[in-house]
């Protein structure tokens, strides 16, 4: 009779444990559906920022797991599995909880970082991929330390071993580590940012899209093809940033006029057309007052440079395009000549050379 009673009691305990786990899982689903989802709807109506809604949404999956793990822990108190097995299962449940909360917290910290660091309108977040990965790894390392501590493993000897092994790994991965640290330096220095229009040493204009672990992803400005540049090369290259200190860019237009031209009139007309372009052409800077400066006496013309301004590199091409068209038409109407290149030939000297009066130059 005692054995039957013990068997029934053990079976009842197991059934109670299973029931507790099922109730906990159901409670987690209800919490996700009727609390978190409705809270997201309320926040969407009341707040302009999407950060709080994103954090609540990120809890939808882990909250079910956490409540279920809690159910397993309570069921473990009800079911008699022995002290050693109970301790082992408790450690496993704690490890699962630590791993899940570490993964969730790493993503939340990244989202907070992206939200806190402001991005320019219409462009991606300046928090690059390398920064996001560094944050994730830091949070996960903290989680690993907690996980090892949960199993009673000392971290100090492992850190000593990793320090010795890390030296050998660093020697073998010099190029990779150089790219990693170069990417971090580029991100921290903020001399180039995601969305900036850059010109590398080769002279081609590209848009910075992301700085990753090993390489930087860029997009050609006009062909929209992707270019991958190693971080170390980018850190040592000469870079022109068209968006620093401001996106506005000076537009210099060179033009040559005939030596017989009225230079005062030429300067006045060049500035008039410039002011017209600044106001009427999309991408011009209406507050800018164009000015012209004569540069030099060239072989066939007097050269001057007209200084315009545009709101960006792409817009500067349209500003230059429209200015050249309008200036050429105005000069033609005002009978101001833009001369072709002229090269004078001394025919008398050539005849003398043929006649033998002077020695001809030896052929190269």
How does residue 1 score in pLDDT terms, banded at 50, 70 and 90?
Answer: very low
Residue 274 above 90 pLDDT? yes
pLDDT at 42: 77
What is the mean pLDDT of the segment spanning 268-283? 94
Q: What is the pLDDT of residues 312-363, one digit of tens each?
A: 888 999 999 999 999 999 999 999 998 887 666 666 666 665 555 445 555 5
Could you tell me if 232 and 178 are in contact, meaning their C-beta atoms sit under 8 angstroms apart? yes
The per-residue pLDDT of the chain, averaged, comes to 80
Euclidean distance between CA atoms 79 and 71, whole angstroms: 12
With tokens 């007209």, the residue in question is 306
Query: Which contiguous run of DSSP H or E holds residue 150?
Result: helix 129-150
Distance (Å) of CA 294 to CA 304, 316, 339: 4, 22, 16
Euclidean distance between CA atoms 302 and 348, whole angstroms: 28
Using a pLDDT cut of 90, give the percent of the chain over it: 22
How does residue 268 score in pLDDT terms, banded at 50, 70 and 90?
Answer: very high
Q: Report, in angstroms and rounded to the nearest whole number, the Rg of the chain calculated over CA atoms.
A: 36
**Cα 352 → chain centroid:** 69
- Assess whether the region 190-241 and the region 249-333 belong to the same CATH fold: no
pLDDT at 293: 94
Give the residue from 273, 269, 266 showing the smallest Cα distance to 251: 273
Domain ranges across the chain: 2-117+124-174, 190-241, 249-333
How does residue 157 score in pLDDT terms, banded at 50, 70 and 90?
Answer: low
- The string over 339-361, giving b where at least 16 C-beta atoms fall within 10 Å of a residue's C-beta and e elsewhere, is beeeeeeeeeeeeeeeeeeeeee
Q: How many CB atoms lie within 10 A of CB 182?
A: 22
Could you tell me if 175 and 104 are in contact, meaning their C-beta atoms sit under 8 angstroms apart? no
Quick one: DSSP state of residue 341? Answer: P
Euclidean distance between CA atoms 42 and 9, whole angstroms: 47
With tokens 């000593």, the residue in question is 160
CATH for 190-241 (2.30.30.100, 3.30.70.2860, 2.30.30.60, 3.40.50.460): 2.30.30.60
Residue 5 above 50 pLDDT? no
- The string over 291-326, giving b where at least 16 C-beta atoms fall within 10 Å of a residue's C-beta and e elsewhere, is ebeeeeeeeebbebebbbbbbbbbbbebbbebbeeb
3-state SS assignment for residue 360 = coil
Q: What is the edge-to-edge ordering of all strands in the sheet holding 302-310?
A: 249-257, 302-310, 291-297
Could you tell me if 70 and 20 are in contact, meaning their C-beta atoms sit under 8 angstroms apart? no
Could you tell me if 301 and 270 are in contact, meaning their C-beta atoms sit under 8 angstroms apart? no
Architecture of domain 249-333: 2-Layer Sandwich (3.30)
With tokens 């022995």, the residue in question is 82
């Amino acid at each position: 009779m005692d054995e039957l009673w013990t068997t029934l009691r053990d079976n009842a305990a197991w059934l109670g444990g299973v029931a507790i786990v099922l109730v906990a899982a159901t409670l987690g689903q209800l919490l996700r559906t009727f609390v978190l989802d409705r809270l997201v709807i309320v926040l969407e109506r009341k707040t302009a920022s999407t950060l709080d809604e994103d954090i609540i949404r990120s809890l939808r999956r882990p909250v079910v797991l956490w409540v279920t793990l809690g159910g397993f822990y309570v069921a473990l108190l009800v079911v008699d599995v022995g002290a050693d097995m109970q301790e082992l299962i408790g450690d496993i449940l704690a490890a699962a909880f630590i791993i899940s909360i570490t993964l969730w917290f790493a993503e939340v910290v990244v989202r907070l970082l992206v939200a806190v660091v402001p991005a320019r309108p219409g462009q991606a977040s300046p928090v690059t991929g390398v920064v996001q990965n560094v944050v994730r790894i830091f949070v996960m390392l903290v989680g690993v330390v907690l996980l090892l501590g949960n199993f009673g493993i000392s971290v100090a000897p492992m850190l000593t071993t990793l320090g010795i092994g890390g030296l050998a790994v660093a020697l073998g991965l010099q190029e990779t580590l150089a790219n990693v640290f170069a990417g971090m330096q580029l991100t921290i220095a903020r001399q180039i940012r995601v969305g900036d229009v850059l010109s590398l040493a080769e002279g081609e204009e590209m848009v910075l899209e992301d700085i990753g672990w090993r390489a930087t992803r860029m997009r050609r400005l006009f062909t929209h093809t992707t270019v991958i540049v190693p971080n170390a090369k980018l850190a040592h290259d000469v870079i022109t940033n068209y968006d620093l200190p401001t996106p506005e860019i000076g537009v210099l237009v060179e033009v040559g006029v005939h030596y017989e031209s009225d230079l005062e009139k030429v300067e006045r007309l060049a500035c008039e057309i410039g002011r017209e372009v600044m106001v009427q052409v999309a991408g011009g800077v209406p507050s800018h007052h164009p000015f012209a400066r004569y540069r030099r006496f060239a072989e066939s013309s007097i050269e001057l440079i007209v200084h315009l301004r545009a709101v960006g590199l792409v817009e500067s091409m349209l500003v230059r395009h429209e200015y050249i068209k309008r200036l050429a038409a105005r000069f033609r109407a005002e009978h101001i000549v833009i001369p072709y290149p002229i090269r004078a030939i001394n025919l008398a000297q050539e005849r003398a050379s043929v006649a033998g009066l002077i020695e001809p130059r030896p052929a190269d």
